[in-house]
């Protein structure tokens, strides 16, 4: 396996956090194992890494019930077809995925829209699956225009995905640092959650909110019209973070004239 898996045991629920290698900036697929099934959250940039997550899930001996896509960024949905199950997303996220169209990988591989278009709408609120309450909340603004936040209140687990990165450079292409800071502040105000699952990086705790807030503050200070200068400055400030390539991707949106 090229990726790594971190297992969190919460009694009747076990969480298997599959993290891709650094070449795809430690993108995570969360496999929530309930008593009778597996709920998968997010589907990787490269189909090969999605296949690793699926193979691991199948080794648990329970069926994958559904795949939930939290937001409309290809590193979280490109591999959806590999799961072979219904794809759930907020209606706004589905609209944004359709608007983006086919996905074009850096490897030259094209993935048609039909392979990852969500086909089941997520309705915000609480859904009880195998006796386990899943709380679905829609969040607007920040790393993406719209994102799905998933809470497991009885297990004390908050599945933040790309509202939080853990030791990975942030993608700022949505150009909404203020919205992201507000979203992080709202997460930090939550009580009863001692585990936070990040969309990039290993599982962590509430201390990650201060880390993301600090990075966003630094990005606001350093970001200007020169994308390369920003990249050098932020990498120098966070030398241990992985995924500097994600800054290049964001710069295409932030500094189009330079591209």
- Does the structure show a pLDDT above 80 at 258? no
Q: Please tell me whether residue 145 adopts helix, strand or coil conformation.
A: coil
Closest CA to 59 of 85, 79, 33: 33
pTM: 0.95
Inter-residue contact 129 to 39 (CB < 8 Å):
yes
CATH-assigned architecture of domain 4-254: 4-Layer Sandwich (3.60)
Q: How confident is the model at residue 106, as a pLDDT?
A: 79
Domain ranges of the chain: 4-254
Q: How confident is the model at residue 63, as a pLDDT?
A: 98
- Does the structure show a pLDDT above 90 at 158? yes
* Section 23-27 average pLDDT: 94
Inter-residue contact 152 to 126 (CB < 8 Å):
no
Which letter does DSSP use for residue 79 in this model? T
Looking at 107-207, list the stretches that DSSP marks H as alpha helix, in order from N- to C-terminal side.
177-188
Say how far apart CA 42 and CA 234 lie, in whole Å.
Answer: 27
- Does the structure show a pLDDT above 70 at 199? yes
- Does the structure show a pLDDT above 60 at 257? no
Q: How confident is the model at residue 259, as a pLDDT?
A: 43
Say how far apart CA 168 and CA 187 lie, in whole Å.
Answer: 19
Q: Which residues contact 221 (CB under 8 A, 6 or more apart)?
A: none
Joined together, the tokens standing for residue 136 give: 């679905």
Inter-residue contact 15 to 7 (CB < 8 Å):
yes
Residue 256: pLDDT band by 50, 70, 90 thresholds? low
Joined together, the tokens standing for residue 154 give: 């009885």
Say how far apart CA 193 and CA 157 lie, in whole Å.
Answer: 5
* Section 39-65 average pLDDT: 97
């Amino acid at each position: 396996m090229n990726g790594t898996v971190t297992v969190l045991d919460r009694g009747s629920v076990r969480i298997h956090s599959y993290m891709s290698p650094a070449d795809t900036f430690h993108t995570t697929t969360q496999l929530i194992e309930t008593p009778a099934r597996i709920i998968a959250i997010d589907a990787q940039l490269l189909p090969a890494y999605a296949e690793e997550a699926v193979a691991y899930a199948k080794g648990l001996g329970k069926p994958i019930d559904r795949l939930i896509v939290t937001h409309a960024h290809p590193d979280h949905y490109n591999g959806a077809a590999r799961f072979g199950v219904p794809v759930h997303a907020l209606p706004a996220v589905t609209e944004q995925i359709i608007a983006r169209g086919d996905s074009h990988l850096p490897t030259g591989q094209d993935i048609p829209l039909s392979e990852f278009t969500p086909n089941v709408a997520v309705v915000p609120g609480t859904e009880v699956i195998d006796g386990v309450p899943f709380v679905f909340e829609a969040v607007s603004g920040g790393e993406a225009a719209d994102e799905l936040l998933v809470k497991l209140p009885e297990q004390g687990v908050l599945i933040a995905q790309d509202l939080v990165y853990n030791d990975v450079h942030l993608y700022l292409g949505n150009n909404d640092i203020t919205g992201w800071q507000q979203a992080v502040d709202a997460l930090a105000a939550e009580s009863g959650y001692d585990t936070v699952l990040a969309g990039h990086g290993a599982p962590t705790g509430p201390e990650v909110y201060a880390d993301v807030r600090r990075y966003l503050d630094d990005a606001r200070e350093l970001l200007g019209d020169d994308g390369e200068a920003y990249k050098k400055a932020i990498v120098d400030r966070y030398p241990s973070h992985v995924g500097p390539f994600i800054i290049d991707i964001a710069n295409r949106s932030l500094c189009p004239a330079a591209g």
